[in-house]
Structures are given as C-alpha cells and as structure tokens.
Structure 1
C-alpha cells in the first residue's frame, strides 16, 4: 500500500490592531511593499500577521530562520520555498489564517468564514457542476449555506494544490456536496485527496494533497507583539 502524506495545519490568529514591530521585522521588502498598499488598516494588519505567521510556521518545519526564508513561484503563480522541498499553502478569512505544510506531495488549503450569502443559486451556477447544482437545488434551505461553503472550500483547496487556482473553471471539477471526511478527485489524470477540516463552528475548511492523505495534525503559531 502506498503510504499517505502527513499534513500539518498551522493556525495563525489575525488581529484587528497592528501585530507590532516583531511581525514587520520578519517580512522581506516585497512583503512590506504589499502590506503598505492596503487602504484599510485592518487589512494591512492581518496581511502582516498572516505572512509573519507563515514564516514562523515554515521556519519551525525547515529549521531555517524565518527572516532568511526565500520564496519563488511556480509558472502558475503558486508560492514555493527556495532551496527546500517542503510544500506549503496559505489561506485566510476573517480573523484566522491557516498554513498547510507537507513533504512529498503538492498541498492546498482553503478556509472561509461562514456567512449569510445571497443568491446561492446564482453562485452555485458559477462554481458547481450540473450534477452538483441539481443536488444543491433540492436541499432544505437550512442546509444550503453550509453545503455551498463545503463545495467552495473543497474546490479552492484542490485548485490551489494543483497550482492553477481559479484560472481553472471550478465547474469542471466534481467534489460532491455531501458532508463527509474524505474523497478522491482525479483532475487531468492526477489523483487528489480532499478532506474537510473542523476548525471552528463558524469556519469551513478543506485540505487537498496529491495522492493519498494519511493524517492532518493542527498546530498554532503564537501571536507576535
């Protein structure tokens, strides 16, 4: 039997206020420039906290100083580490960011705050396959919000792991709308494993890896002053 991939999911709290000089000091010049372009203070604070937390998580995994980590990107634009085979992916929503890390497989993660979305049928038509739409249309009203977020996080995690993100039409990917721990999806000849992750009652999240998935363990990055 082929051994599966072990994934670590790092949780990073994102503050409303500035995360402070320690967080800013971890960022490189490009990250600081991106942070300064945010118009709203809260968005800037959360970007800095998320990317400082990303560096701390990757430093813990690689043994390298967080400030010394260098990044490149795949042809599709997915960030990756220079000079290290560790795979990672970052997602954030509201007051939390998560970083998925693993070795030997591509990885993607998506986290979304549960909310009261409008025009769910219209949104479903933009992201779901015809079969998913048909099953979604007959769900009771009280289950539709959760089901939509389940489908969305699964598809985004898969397409982020694949490296193309939403440049690839999500309506071409079947992930099912049912609740469940795990499913296998084949995308253009490559087998991917998707697993929903319980983070908090108001969060939907999913992790995806190429090949089998053995385990997901959760860790936390301590807030920086």
Structure 2
C-alpha cells in the first residue's frame, strides 16, 4: 500500500497575482500534467492552477465502490494532500469561496469526497464522471454547508467504472448539504470528457 507525497504542478496566473484558484485532480493512470492540459478548453483567465500528482498515478488502489478500508492508507493520504493544498492556497491570499475544484474519473470521485467531507462555500466543484467513495456511503462522514456552491456531476450511462445509481446517491447527499447541483447523464457516452461537459464546466468557471 502507498501514501502520497506532495508534488504539485502549477500553471496559469501566479497565485500571488490570481483572484481565483482551481485544484485539478487527474484520473487513474494519468498525471497532473495531463489534467492541466484541460486549461486550453476552460475559461481560466486569472486563475492559479494547481494539479497534485498521485503516487503511482493512482489516488487509491481499488474501485471507489470498494470498502473504504481496502483503499487505505492511500485514500486518507490523498484527502490530506488536498486539504494541505487548500490551506496553502488560502495562505497565498485566495479565499475559500474563490477556490474551485475539477476532477475526472478517479479524480472526480476524490474531488467529491473531499468537498463533501469539508462542505463550505467554494467557487465551484466540477466532477467529470464521479461519485462519493465507499462500498456504502456513511452520511456521518459528510458535514458542513455548501452555502449554494455550484456543483456539476456528470457520468455516462452505462459507465464502466461509475454506476449511475451511485451518482444519484451522491447528488442527494451533496444537495442535503445545501449545494446547487447540476447532474448530467449521457446515454452511451464512453469513459471520457465531452465538449458538452467542458461547456457546462465553463458555465461555473466563468
């Protein structure tokens, strides 16, 4: 089993000059460098971009639907890396309500898990093909108040990794913490990011 070490790629506007920040979380087998290339399709003018790199290119070893214990200590370590990064960004003068999150696949699951365990007012949350993590979801893990933070969750139907049932369950929990959730399910879409999803993401980022 592995833990993560803090390796953060940055792009965009330097944090000390930026008005907003975005944390981008890559999927399994991918890299911080690959998720950052999405900036060419997103409205990120004035954003400081931060992309952590997972050890062994994976945030946790098994499916996000596996028992949480099976994905430890990697999962807790990944959540801690994000928490540390959020604090670092705040120390650089960017407030929490100006911090945005974007993740794809495993990175989308991790994004939703982090923000829902730490619900508060964020700039926006974009989870491209993801849901909350665990064999069963435990409501007590999720607390706080999103204070109407816009949250976009997408998936394909069917998706090889992310069942629609879990996406719907995640939406219910996140809405219960006062987020403004947009859910988009694409019939027959492959496990990828579509132009329509990027357009919806830009609606939040712009």
In the superposition, the TM-score normalised over structure 1's length comes to 0.27
Q: Which has the larger radius of gyration?
A: 1
Higher relative contact order (CA 8 A, sep 6+): 1
Q: Which protein is richer in strand relative to its size? A: 1
In the superposition, the TM-score normalised over structure 2's length comes to 0.29
